[in-house]
Chain A
Amino acid sequence: MANQSKKIVRIGAGAGYSGDRIAPAVELAEKGQLDYLVFECLAERTIALAQLERSKNPSLGFDPLLQDRMRAVLPLCVAQHIKIITNMGAANPQAAAQAVLAVARELGLSQLKVAMVQGDDVLPQLAGHDFALMEHEATLSSLGDRVISANAYLGAEPLVRALEMGADVVITGRVADPALFLAPLVHEFGWSFEDWQRMGQGIVIGHLLECAAQITGGYFADPGYRDVPDLARLGFPLAEVSADGSAVITKVEGSGGCVTTATCTEQLLYEIENPSQYLQPDVVADFSKVTLTQVGPDRVQVQGATGQPKPDALKVTVGYRDGFIGEGQISYAGPGAKARGQLALDVLRHRLNAAGMGSFESRYELLGVNAIHGDTLSQGPAPYEVRVRVAMRVPTRQLAEQVANEVEALYLNGPAGGGGATKSVREVIAAASILMPRDCVQTSVSILEM
Chain B
Amino acid sequence: MLLREIAHSRTGDKGNRSTLSVIAYDMKDFAQIERCVTAERVKAHYQDMVHGPVERYVVPHLGALNFVLHDALGGGVTRSLALDAHGKCLSSAILSIDIGPREAA
Chain A interface residues toward B at CB < 8 A: 44-45, 134-135, 219-220, 222, 225-226, 262, 265-276, 288-292, 322, 325, 361-363, 365, 367, 371-377, 389, 391-393, 428-431, 433
Contact = CB atoms under 8 A, between A and B. Distances in A.
B23 A373 contact: no
Nearest to A374: B48
Contacts of A289: 61
Given A265-B21, A269-B10, A372 B79 contact: no
A328 to B, nearest CB: 13
Contacts of A389: 83
21 contacts: A135-B15, A135-B17, A135-B76, A269-B10, A269-B19, A271-B13, A273-B55, A274-B68, A290-B62, A322-B78, A322-B79, A363-B81, A365-B83, A372-B89, A373-B48, A373-B90, A376-B47, A377-B93, A393-B79, A429-B78, A433-B15
B46 to A, nearest CB: 8
Contacts of A220: 8, 10
B2 to A, nearest CB: 11
A329 B96 CA distance: 28
Contacts of B57: 273-276
Interface residues of B, number: 41
Contacts of A226: 8
- The 7 A-B pairs at the shortest CB distance, nearest first, are namely A374-B48, A271-B12, A269-B21, A266-B10, A430-B79, A391-B81, A430-B78
Interface string B36-64: 00000000011111000001010101111
Contacts of A288: 59
Nearest to A269: B21
Contact of B64 (A135, A225, A269, A430): A269
A372 B48 contact: no
B96 A377 contact: yes
Contact of B81 (A267, A274, A290, A361): A361
Given A225-B8, A377-B93, A272 B66 contact: yes
B14 interface: yes
Contact of B23 (A265, A291, A367, A430): A265
A273 B68 contact: yes
A141 B59 CA distance: 40
A377 B46 CA distance: 8
B81 A393 contact: yes
A391 B82 CA distance: 8
Contact of B89 (A292, A373, A430, A433): A373
A44 B77 contact: yes
Contacts of B45: 377
A190 to B, nearest CB: 31
A43 to B, nearest CB: 8
A44 B81 contact: no
Given A220-B8, A270-B10, 4 more contacts: A225-B8, A365-B83, A373-B90, A376-B48
Nearest to B92: A222
A289 B62 CA distance: 9
Q: Considering residues B15, B46, B68, B96, which has the most beta carbons from chain A within 10 angstroms of its beta carbon? A: B15
A100 to B, nearest CB: 28
Interface string B58-102: 010111101010000001111101111000011001001000000
A227 to B, nearest CB: 12
Contacts of B25: 262
B74 to A, nearest CB: 8
A347 to B, nearest CB: 20
Nearest to B84: A372
A347 B83 CA distance: 21
B8 A291 contact: no
B34 to A, nearest CB: 15
A42 to B, nearest CB: 13
Contacts of B49: 373-374
A372 B48 CA distance: 10
A374 to B, nearest CB: 3
A132 to B, nearest CB: 14
Contact of A271 (B14, B47, B90): B14
A158 B77 CA distance: 30
Nearest to B23: A265
Given A269-B66, A374-B49, A291 B79 contact: no
Contacts of B8: 220, 222, 225-226, 262, 266
Nearest to B88: A219
A368 B45 CA distance: 19
Contact of A270 (B21, B82, B93): B21
A393 B23 CA distance: 37
Contact of B76 (A262, A267, A291, A431): A431
A45 B85 CA distance: 13
Contacts of A325: 81
A266 B21 contact: yes
Nearest to B45: A377
